[in-house]
Structure 1
């Protein structure tokens, strides 16, 4: 099933964009939806289903778990505290949270290192979800712990301790960042310490509301409020058929990846951010100072303070992507602010590994690349 929306955008090709969405659906993603903006003009589209059992169609205005796109919101809230003089980017985290990050680590790891993932603190994923440890080479790997944690409420300090107790990924301030959600949970605790309110409330008041977002927020329970899709997790073929995880306690990612939003709100947020209406120009410049980093899946990225840098034939784009169980999203804005793309999909980790553990190509990969190519560059050569 295909759901179409119309557009009168002179700078966009609605037929090509819709065809690219449809191709992602036909390649195997149950539902995909997007909003693309070009020089003040907007196109929205959707393709496929929100529920594979009922055939309920996915629509372009649905709310969606946007994963690590949350990190840009959290980074903006931290930069506001820097602007107010409550914290410095190069202040050791131990000066404010000595009990949370004690000893030499607290003295060496700075706020900047948490924001750009050079703290050396590893992620907690395989410790919070132990049945995943050793994937894909260990024969007894399973996704049982994903199900076991569906209704578990984690305290940020629990997850932070899992990361701090694990072997470090490197020395604090190293030249290459290693992506870790622990950094962002520590930043959430820092926001609470500085403002006297929960980090989610701080981000809501000072970032989400300032940007004028109407459909973005941290979930109050295990469900996505408002119209939304079911979210299908395949975990590299270990869950077959893919299972719905739209009902889940998101305390396992909190201010690192817990937000719910819409593609319209994501584009609005990044437009407001890059227009200087969320943080000032000096803060934005700091956020756009990138270093090489390694994502959780091992891929190389150029990472700033809560922002990815992506080079395309159309030029430089800034934004973030994200996944949580069953949901994927990406939002990118051109350096000149004229072109924006936000895409949401309701199936994730579809690639199956070979015997060596390397994920194998899937038709979805090419279809997604072609969608990004059309959305970002209007059919120009493939984006990075």
Structure 2
């Protein structure tokens, strides 16, 4: 529909502007950017190529409109927070454009000869993310009283950085053969952990203000990426409480949404796959909330899920058994093998 209706194109209107035409233009812009934002961010979440091209029209809100304030309140009611919707929406559109660039770079087919240029492009996009964060206006900076939609925008920026930095650590991008390259990869590791900790801080702020009864979706995605990023680093003691907090946030969401239950189960399956033993109490919590994904209606819904295990998709391009649906199929195979072994 986006392509068929040419929603992203800037088509000049020769008719004089009227209040109704201005409203229509605004509605068209916000709708167009909403489609683009959704497709770009979810393409990054699922490690896929984005299905649409960026709009060539301007951002939804003009300079004189972005100073308007609004009131935001969660469901169920929990008091109101002053909210700068127009300003936030424009910055979200800018961030979605960066996410689009990341997905376009990481998930396009390319030869090994392209890797040097890909590395340079990835570093340039990483710098764009840093600039985007440093240039956020005061109203959108992180603080304990910010509205959850603003927290979500911050979370998207951090897990976008994590995805990009995982690409920059790939051996074919930076061969680990020289001290300079080893130092570069170590620096990406440090930056990844810093971004993971930023997501952790956002979740702490949200949990204290609103509890974890109804996790915000992009914070949930941040917790998921954080958990998969840390799962192979639990031998570092300070990572364990952070990983546990991410998992508890995922568990809270799993009580409300079938995909989130699947992701909670995927954390356990991934740990098994990479030979990591989870803390026993946490492992039991994950098991309790995800039992239904294997033998119920949940399973029918999740069979074709393309949600990736970020731990198993480190090279970003593998197509073998790192999605939720594929991992569940592998689990079935293991169950059948175990049953056959017991019967023999």
TM-score when normalising by structure 1: 0.26
1 or 2 for the larger relative contact order (CA 8 Å, sep ≥6)? 1
Between Structure 1 and Structure 2, whose CA radius of gyration is higher? 2
More helix by share: 2
More strand by share: 1
TM-score when normalising by structure 2: 0.28
